[in-house]
Amino acid sequence: LANHESKSADELMAAVGTRVASGRATRSRILEAAIERFAQTGPDASFEEIAGVVGVTKGALYHHFGSKQHLVEDVYREVVRRHAARVVAASSKGSGRERLEGLISESAKGYGSGSPVYRLLLRLHVEAGTVRPYLTPIARRVQARQREYMAMLVKTGQEDGSIRDDVDADTMGQTINAALQGFLVQQVEPPDSQRRAAEAFGELLGVLI
């Protein structure tokens, strides 16, 4: 009440700067907490719950994200971004075939990990097509990019002769992509069984490609 008039202009600026920075930090801590809770309780986790983890209240969430919907969207984008980064990094070197194999093994590692984050990713993919129409545009872009990237890798491999060229690149890419995501659906199995299946899938591909 009375104490902010005892500050100089500089101090005010500094205080504001700090305020802004701390705001950004809070925002990302909230996002992190949301990913965690969404991964466990599902995207229906309450605002209050998430806020509790971070040590703030709903007010902060609303300040930073505006609505539940926006938070879910941001979480979706963030989770996708992280997965994409891993996958791209794992498929950046070597022949087309090697790059494809890198992608497959990295994806399989993630999908087969049964980690909450990947479960969340799958669930958001699924719900984007049903009960959360507002995620549809994002999902569409994501899926498209994923397919294109796969097809690109296959095509590269077919050009450098490391992948058989008697099948359509697009189809091959899309199928591999589908198979990878399909593993996630069977996540009721214990993680190691998941992992073995994903590895076997990789070897099988080695024969078929």
Partner DNA sequence: ACGTGCGGGACATCCCGTTCGT
Partner DNA sequence: ACGAACGGGATGTCCCGCACGT
Angular region, 189: left φ>0, alpha ψ -120 to 50, beta rest: beta
Residue 32 interacts with, from its own copies, DNA, none (CB under 5-8 Å by kind): none
Name the residue with tokens 């872009």: 141
Q: Which is nearer to its own copies, 11 or 48 (CB)?
A: 48
Question: Closest separation between CB of residue 34 and DNA, Å?
Answer: 11
User: What would the 3-class secondary structure string for 130-143 be?
Assistant: CCCHHHHHHHHHHH
Q: Which residues lie closer than 8 Å to 76 by C-beta, 6 or more apart?
A: 124, 128, 135, 138, 139
d(CA 153, CA 162): 11
Residue from the set 7, 11, 28, 44 that interacts with DNA by CB under 7 A: 44
Question: Closest separation between CB of residue 105 and DNA, Å?
Answer: 37
Q: Residues in the site for its own copies, rule: CB under 8 A?
A: 41-42, 44, 114, 119, 122-123, 125-131, 136, 139-140, 143, 166-168, 170-172, 174-175, 177-189, 197, 200-201, 203-204, 207-208
Question: Closest separation between CB of residue 10 and its own copies, Å?
Answer: 22
Burial 64-77 (b: 16+ CB within 10 A, else e): bbeeeeebbbbbbe
Binding site for DNA (CB under 7 A): 1, 17-20, 22-24, 26-27, 44-49, 51, 55-60, 62-64, 67-69
